[in-house]
Chain A
Amino acid sequence: MGGSSFPVMTPDDLDTPLDANSLGAKGYFIGSGVVTVIDERTCIVQFALRVAQFYMHESCGKCTPCRVGTRWLVQLLRAVEEGTARERDLELTLDVCDRIIGKCLCVLGDSAAMPVASCVTKFRDEFRAHVEQGGCPFGADSQLAGLFAPVDQHAHTSVAQEAAV
């Protein structure tokens, strides 16, 4: 709700009126007003990873938490998606988000950390399933190609390098 930079909502929040106050009361933001709908065929770890990759690419690099934290989040989420993460990495992911939020020069760091933190918190079981099964439970069936631009869309040297992190 509100664009990629805000916490995700779950079906429990479906009847929340679409105005700033009602959303704000539940800890959401109206943001740009964009509503992105994701159904159960999409892996939420992939979603969080894709969002984190976007913000890592967007980070200007001026302040420490955003520059370093966004890259660290991508590394953590990729480990979860690839099945090399451990249970404590989920806690670490939340902690990294917490250490970014409210400590950066601008809100871009918050924008990266808020959706990731909400994904980990609200879809804990799905994250845990990745850790326990050693990989994505969806196998190759979940894909975000229709939802987001591919990560290598920008022909930018640093993106090529980023893709290698």
Chain B
Amino acid sequence: MSAELVRVTIDEREVHVPKGTGLVETALVAGVEIPVFCYEPRLGEPVGACRMCLVEVDGMPKLQAGCTLTAQDGMVVKTARTSQQAAEGQNATLEFILVNHPLDCPVCDKGGECPLQDLTFRYGPGNTRMSFEKLTFEKPIPISPTISLDRERCILCYRCTRFSESVSEDGQLVAANRGAMSVITTFEDLPYSGAFTGNVTELCPVGALLPTQYRFEGRPWEIVDVPTVCGLCPVGCNIYATVREGKVKRILSRNHPEIDEGWICDKGRFAYTHLRAEDRLAQPLQRVRRHGLEQVSWEQALGEAERLLRDARGRVVTVLSGSETVEQAYALAKLLRVGLDSHQAMLPEEISGSLDAYRLPLSSIRDADVVVVLGDVPVVERAPVVDLWIKSARRNGARILDDANDPAVGEAERVVLVWCGPGGRGGATVAKLAEKLGLAGREGCGAFYLPETPNGRGVADAWAACCDEESEPSGAIGLLVVSGDEAARDENVRALAEQAEATIVISMFGGLAAGWADLVLPGTGYLEREGTFVNLEGRLQRLRRTVTPPCPDELEWIAELAARFGVDVAPYAAAVFAEVSERVYGGLAFGEVGERAPLRVYPEAQEHVARQALPEPRAAPRRKSQVRLVAYRPLFSGAAVERVAELQFQRPQPELELSADDARRRKIATGDLVTVGSNGSAITLPARVNRHLRAGIARVALEHANGLGGIVELAKAEEVASA
């Protein structure tokens, strides 16, 4: 249903827009700019605080804040271009804004990409009439280890506080005091923490909130913003990598309205310095008897790899991380499967293609009537931006449920299912549920499975598409090829390596391979690769090489090795993709993947059964004293995060989350020490009562779980001690 069109005249230009369109957007249709600072539609209702958007509207006695108006039929608007009064009003606003602004543009990191600078240049006074002392504040204030606040530069547009209140809904950023003494601060002066804090540095229209990592690191005329896709979680937020002199200096969002709406998480934004971690590998390492790992030349390393592969022909087992590009996975598969007849591969998680019938863009969550979130792992920890979509659905009036049998599910028109946690079988469970609810083909209905790996689906598809032969039953492992950092830090994989005659590890970091690898080949990061990723929507997206890695790209040496086994692998992502695409993506060309990729469906993509992760207990707790402990992998964890000092404050507290029901029955309050245990091992942690948790479920971050999971006994710590 299209909205009624209305006629609006802006600066003597007539345009027709749907009734209710914001005036700022209406003016854009007419090719007219209404300058703004505080206006940002993604932050909810306009506030009209900064007064930059003053316009003259026929029939209204005073200048109006254009950002707060919507298009009405017959409206006649004059902006600063045609109205002396509006021009004077905007000039006045800028004069006021600059009265206390330090005008330190030459040393301000925002200088050159600053809306305040740009609008002052276009609409503002050329000089100041303010001759008194300006307001001064202590600065910069680290509101967290990642964000610096300069209160003197702040123009109090309240974008940051509105983000905190109505997008991330953390309520930590607030304005304190009032009038001229108003300042932005964090609640109780605590560090601003959470998954999304960094977004305020992009929302800030001046140099008040800056990413600390980027302070004094580059000027706008020295940098290039390279469009790519974040490779740290399965959402695949669209990003720009700001590059200066061959180094990534900053990550910015690159609004894909269907995926991220321009928000990215702090892991994606701040973890990029892992590329320059101290233990980053540039040269291969080879185990030398009694000396441990020693640096060797690439020639020697490839010779050694060839020897190990030749010795283990047919008995090579590959462990994939799910963070390889489609092209890397395919190239590796071709080398090992076609060249060495070794078909056995393991993924860190199960990936199912059965959700393909229920595909939707993530943005459709926002428009749902009911969102059912299942699986018991916090969505924000696995796929952070999905949490923002669910929050916006709730703000739009949707009901967020944790039970698919709730009667509201049957009554609702648009139902979206989200599975986040154990028992999801790579999406098969939630696909079955969607089928039972009859969601297939219904408008606005669909299902999502939130995997643990950023490109598990793409890797599984690529591995499977490479060759039709089946993997034979596993005998002794001749050679274990461990691809990627996630696989390399997996304890189960290291245990597997002990059974193998030899182990090759492909990793970015020396710390991950020391002690157990026979040969270490340096890996690249997602910001250094050409290639494609498939995100949790099933959307194929394009990664770009934003900087040159310190070592050759994986494709280069895989191609070289493949040649030694008579297999033809192109060392270029575009050529490898062409081959995969023939088999999986309907022949789509590399260049057609797109900078803002559309959600396409690829019928050729098959159902893949990868290595089953740890056995997943499905049984409900049997005794009243028992709960099911969900040990989840926190957002702020992993090889990259571990190498970024500024992000350590974001790591989860050692605590155990309990449902309100379980807490009440055991008389446990937040902060009380509780003990969970099974089979003789136990952990004691402070409790946090979470009323959003289902009864019978307890939750703990993996790094504090001490290996526990599944059905456990739960009790208050002193009871255990006295018993």
A: residues with CB less than 8 A from B are 56-65, 67-72, 75-76, 79, 92, 95, 99, 102-105, 157-158, 161-162, 165
A162 to chain B, nearest CB (A): 7
Chain B contacts for A70, CB-based, 8 A: 179-180
Give the docked Cα–Cα distance between A24 and B330 (Å).
82
Chain B contacts for A57, CB-based, 8 A: 179
Q: By the criterion CB–CB under 8 Å, are B180 and A64 in contact?
A: no
Chain A contacts for B96, CB-based, 8 A: 64-65, 68-69, 72, 99
Q: By the criterion CB–CB under 8 Å, are B92 and A71 in contact?
A: no
| Smallest CB-CB A-B distances: 3 pairs | A61-B182, A99-B92, A59-B179
Give the docked Cα–Cα distance between A157 and B182 (Å).
12
A134 to chain B, nearest CB (A): 17
Q: Which single residue of chain B is at the shortest CB-CB distance from A91?
A: B129
How many B residues touch the partner, as a band?
20 to 34
B125 to chain A, nearest CB (A): 11
Given A64-B93, A67-B156, the answer on whether A104 and B180 have CB atoms closer than 8 Å is no
Q: By the criterion CB–CB under 8 Å, are B63 and A103 in contact?
A: yes
Q: By the criterion CB–CB under 8 Å, are A103 and B181 in contact?
A: no
From B48-56, B479-487, B691-699, the one touching the partner chain is B48-56
Chain A contacts for B99, CB-based, 8 A: 68, 72
Q: By the criterion CB–CB under 8 Å, are B92 and A65 in contact?
A: yes
Q: Is B622 interfacial (CB 8 A cutoff)?
A: no
Sample of 11 further A-B pairs with CB below 8 A, known A99-B96, A162-B180: A59-B178, A59-B180, A62-B49, A65-B92, A70-B179, A71-B135, A95-B129, A99-B92, A103-B51, A104-B51, A105-B48
A101 to chain B, nearest CB (A): 9
Give the docked Cα–Cα distance between A64 and B53 (Å).
12
B: residues with CB less than 8 A from A are 47-52, 54, 62-63, 65, 88-89, 92-93, 95-97, 99-100, 129-130, 132-133, 135, 155-156, 158, 175, 177-182
A5 to chain B, nearest CB (A): 16
Q: By the criterion CB–CB under 8 Å, are B132 and A79 in contact?
A: yes
Chain A contacts for B62, CB-based, 8 A: 102-103
Chain A contacts for B129, CB-based, 8 A: 92, 95
Q: Which single residue of chain B is at the shortest CB-CB distance from A78?
A: B132
Give the docked Cα–Cα distance between A93 and B92 (Å).
13
Q: By the criterion CB–CB under 8 Å, are A61 and B63 in contact?
A: no
Q: By the criterion CB–CB under 8 Å, are B178 and A65 in contact?
A: no
Q: By the criterion CB–CB under 8 Å, are B51 and A162 in contact?
A: no
Give the docked Cα–Cα distance between A157 and B179 (Å).
13
Q: By the criterion CB–CB under 8 Å, are A61 and B177 in contact?
A: yes
Q: Which single residue of chain A is at the shortest CB-CB distance from B96?
A: A68
Give the docked Cα–Cα distance between A165 and B130 (Å).
13
Partner of B48, one of A63, A79, A99, A161: A63
Given A56-B180, A72-B99, A103-B63, the answer on whether A65 and B93 have CB atoms closer than 8 Å is yes
